[in-house]
Amino acid sequence: MAWDRGIITRHRFAYREEGNPPILRPTVDVQLYLPPHGEWTTRALIDTGAPITVFDRGAGDALLVRFDRAGAETGSIAILGAQRQIQFETIDLCLANDPSYVWSARVAFIKDPSFQMVFQGILGTEGFLDKWAVTFNKYYEYFELLSPDEAYDAYND
């Protein structure tokens, strides 16, 4: 039973209009923390096709990420039709509407300051979907985030 494994966390969100023209998308507001000084709240898209969680340069700058520092883990990803240089950082995240549940994740920051998206982040498998069970209900235009234990119990009772 879920109560044997810790806090039960369940959140329901409406799809929100994003972009031009507006399209309903599963986005959430997340708080990002990079100790000792960086903190930022931003909107991010939940993307089941994204292998990693990615934020743009603006989010990285707000968190005071030291881009191109010696020893930084860097790489390249394909996003929105082009290869982009990234830098990985381990940060803490939480849903903006529930700061009681915080998790740490290795996420990528796009290094190019001119790159922009409708939202500042993409929540992918590593860093988000490995922490939450997500159920999408496009017919009624909402999605739910459940703790993995709660989702397991809901489907196995």
Could you tell me which residues come within 8 angstroms of residue 11 by beta carbon, excluding any fewer than 6 positions away?
95, 97, 98, 144, 145, 146
CATH superfamily of 14-156: Acid Proteases (2.40.70.10)
Domain boundaries in the chain? 14-156
Q: What is the pLDDT of residue 5?
A: 41
Q: Is the pLDDT of residue 149 over 90?
A: no
Tell me the per-residue pLDDT of 91-105, one tens digit each, with 9 for 90 and over. 999 999 988 889 999
pTM: 0.89
**What does each C-alpha distance from 48 to 17, 83, 135 come to in angstroms?**
18, 20, 11
Q: How far is CA 37 from the centre of its chain?
A: 20
Tell me the per-residue pLDDT of 10-46, one tens digit each, with 9 for 90 and over. 899 999 999 889 999 999 999 999 988 889 999 999 9
